[in-house]
Structure 1
Amino acid sequence: MKKVTFSINEESNTLFAQFDGKDIELAALWLRERCQDEQHLDKISKQRFFDPHQLPNDLSITKIEPIASQEKLTISFSDGYTGTYDLIEFHADFDVWDGTPVSKPWLSNIDKANFSVDFDNLKSDQGLLNALEIFLAYGLIIVNGVPERSNAVIEVAELFGNIRQTNFGKHFEVYTRPNSNDLAYRSVSLGAHTDNPYRDPMPGVQLLHCIKNETTGGLSTLVDSLSVIEQLRKEDPYGVELLSTVPVRYRHFDQDIDLIERRTMVKLDSAKRVEGVAYSPRLDFLPLLEPEQLKTFHRARQRLGQLFSDPRFEWRFKLEPGQLQMFHNTRVLHGRTSFDPNEGYRHLQGAYIDLDEPKGRYVALKRKVSV
């Protein structure tokens, strides 16, 4: 993260943070809420023993005293509270990545070795930490050496988080079967897409483990939506604005369940950065807009699809038996070329976990390994 420093104006009893070229005043109320003493903050859970919502709105700082040779201050407030503050604790408030790696958008010509990890290495803390770092930076890892047996996908998934069970089950089987409730279970080509945009919340992470692949077709495709949206924004900024603000209806239908959700096609995070997309031409419906605005929306949606299949962005490869691809479901879109089931058997197993779990495990494991 960018460096943050602190300074005191003793005349006005004001504390400032210098960050990203700006002087930011740290308000009395902001500081009072962050008191660090054991009477107000549980050291194990980091949860408060008091309700900060009840603090007076007109708080002021009455005195600030630096503690010699340490990055600590004693601060007194108008409500009578005085506490010691370790300024290092404030650094997290300026880290928009919340302790996780910065996202690294990628194109199809990237060195694919960047994504590769070995299954056996995931069993050590350092090996798992390395895999999490790659995944959080690129939105993707390829795990090699996974046992070619049923339910191995669950074993890998549970290293990174808890299984997210859906109407497809704790895990799902990807092989050809007629009259299936999803085209993923046929031999047809599947363009780049996000899984389950009709679900709230959408699965954050998907894992697909290849157990057998005897066909010459059925190539896997992956594309980083961060790079694609960056390109689309250069070409059509207003189109990207519409895609990130106008909700679209998505639907999954079968005889047992009818799932409908409305969300924007381009997904922004709390800092307004592009986090990914909800994209599935098999499942979405144009929103109700004025005719000219609808044309603009559709033009952006159409170009988005073209870029997702552009060789500059799309990585196309054969997922071999014993390999597992794990990807950020809304960031790295996946697909598949068509194949002839008469050539041989193609069998993958898939599972979902939520995105917050790899993030949380990374932060905790990094702290553990660095001790």
Structure 2
Amino acid sequence: MPHASLSSDGLVVSLTVDQQTTRFHAIWLRDNALDEATKSSSNGQRLIALRDIDSTTYISHAQVSAEALQVTFMPEQKTVSFPLHWLAAHAYDKPQTSSKGWLPHSQSLWDSSLMGQLPVADFDAVSSSPAALQTWLADIARFGFAKLNGGPIKAGALTQVVDLFGHLRETNYGRIFEVRVEEKPTNLAFTGLALQAHTDNPYRDPVPTIQVLYCLESSAPGGDNVLVDGFNAARQLQQLNPHGFDLLSRYCARFE
């Protein structure tokens, strides 16, 4: 059974659930109260500012059930309930276990064995089905990339893909960087030469988030795409050469 206890001054409540104890400060709980006078019930946006909260706020009473923690704030004499699952998701009083080379649980490392099960979606499906779009975007977050087949073959079609989930960020190349073969190229992208594995625009601030490569027409043989999981490469380096990984993770690289 969950248990709650108050500090002698009422400034901190300690909540114990499944033998794990987490502290919450009174002023933080009041600032994040979920009642309709503090947050809009229709959109969740805040209705008060921190300056509206009495700086002497403390908790006079705390009671916990199987589902929620109920506290009374003084001097307001205001009682608010916090679902235990919400408190667990927003707890800040917990050890930071992240170390160099950590990855979120939602991310998957991959190698060439992924070839038989590439994350692929259909343009018409993601355009008409929110569930299909969610699955496709989840694959991008999980693997760092995903394919999209069946898109329209017309100028500017790339923007229709971007409009499904965000907006275009314009650069010095313009809204869209058009890759084509030129007789006197000023960029390797304007040649038929193969490009080695690389990361585009890491020198930008902010760096690109999602990059969309959209093929309208390929008039020459070849054109295979090569993708590398940089996180997997870093993980393998960490395992094979811990000292080298430590050096690279401690010193900033200058992008040129």
1:120 counterpart (118, 124, 136) = 124
How many angstroms does 1:44 deviate by? 3.2
Query: Quick one: distance in 1 between partners of 2:251 and 2:16?
Result: 37
Query: Quick one: distance in 2 between partners of 1:202 and 1:138?
Result: 18
What is the correspondence of 1:238-277 to structure 2 with a 5 Å cutoff? 238-250=243-255
Residue type at the aligned position of 2:212 = L
Query: Quick one: distance in 1 between partners of 2:166 and 2:16?
Result: 36
Residue type at the aligned position of 1:73 = L
How many angstroms does 1:10 deviate by? 7.0
Q: Is the 8 A contact 1:195 1:202 kept in 2?
A: no
2:110 counterpart (103, 106, 110) = 106
Cα distance change on mapping 1:17 and 1:137 into 2, 3 Å: farther
Cα distance change on mapping 1:159 and 1:246 into 2, 3 Å: same
Query: Quick one: distance in 1 between partners of 2:177 and 2:67?
Result: 52
Query: Quick one: distance in 1 between partners of 2:133 and 2:184?
Result: 40
Residue type at the aligned position of 1:16 = L
Query: Quick one: distance in 2 between partners of 1:184 and 1:114?
Result: 25
Work out the percentage of aligned pairs sharing the same amino acid.
28
1:340 equivalent in structure 2:
none
Cα distance change on mapping 1:35 and 1:185 into 2, 3 Å: same
Residue type at the aligned position of 1:93 = H
Cα distance change on mapping 1:183 and 1:111 into 2, 3 Å: closer
Q: What value does the CA root-mean-square deviation take over the aligned residues?
A: 3.1
Q: Is the 8 A contact 1:119 1:145 kept in 2?
A: yes
Residue type at the aligned position of 1:109 = S
What is the correspondence of 1:48-63 to structure 2 with a 5 Å cutoff? 48-52=46-50, 59-63=57-61
Q: Is the 8 A contact 2:22 2:91 kept in 1?
A: no
Secondary structure in 2 aligned to 1:177?
Answer: coil
How many angstroms does 1:6 deviate by? 5.1
Query: Quick one: distance in 1 between partners of 2:88 and 2:204?
Result: 35
1:73 aligns with 2:69: yes
Secondary structure in 2 aligned to 1:149?
Answer: coil
1:8 counterpart (4, 9, 13) = 4
Query: Quick one: distance in 1 between partners of 2:228 and 2:77?
Result: 54
Query: Quick one: distance in 2 between partners of 1:102 and 1:164?
Result: 26
The CA deviation string for residues 267-296 of structure 1, in whole angstroms up to 9 with x for no partner, is: xxxxxxxxxxxxxxxxx3xxxxxxxxxxxx
Residue type at the aligned position of 1:236 = N
How many angstroms does 1:74 deviate by? 2.5
1:44 counterpart (42, 45, 65) = 42
2:224 equivalent in structure 1:
219
How many angstroms does 1:170 deviate by? 1.3
1:164 aligns with 2:169: yes
How many angstroms does 1:122 deviate by? 0.7
Q: Is the 8 A contact 1:116 1:144 kept in 2?
A: yes
Cα distance change on mapping 1:205 and 1:59 into 2, 3 Å: same
2:28 equivalent in structure 1:
30
2:99 equivalent in structure 1:
none
How many angstroms does 1:75 deviate by? 0.6
Q: Find the structure with the greater CA-based Rg.
A: 2
Higher RCO (C-alpha 8 Å, min separation 6): 1
Q: Is the 8 A contact 1:6 1:15 kept in 2?
A: no
Number of aligned residues: 241
How many angstroms does 1:171 deviate by? 1.2
The CA deviation string for residues 131-179 of structure 1, in whole angstroms up to 9 with x for no partner, is: 1222221111111111232222111111121111111111121111245
1:187 aligns with 2:185: no
TM-score by length of 1: 0.57
The CA deviation string for residues 178-236 of structure 1, in whole angstroms up to 9 with x for no partner, is: 45443222222311111111211111111111222243333210011121111111123
Residue type at the aligned position of 1:30 = W
Q: Which runs of 5+ in 2 are unaligned?
A: 97-103
TM-score by length of 2: 0.79
How many angstroms does 1:111 deviate by? 4.7
Secondary structure in 2 aligned to 1:193?
Answer: coil
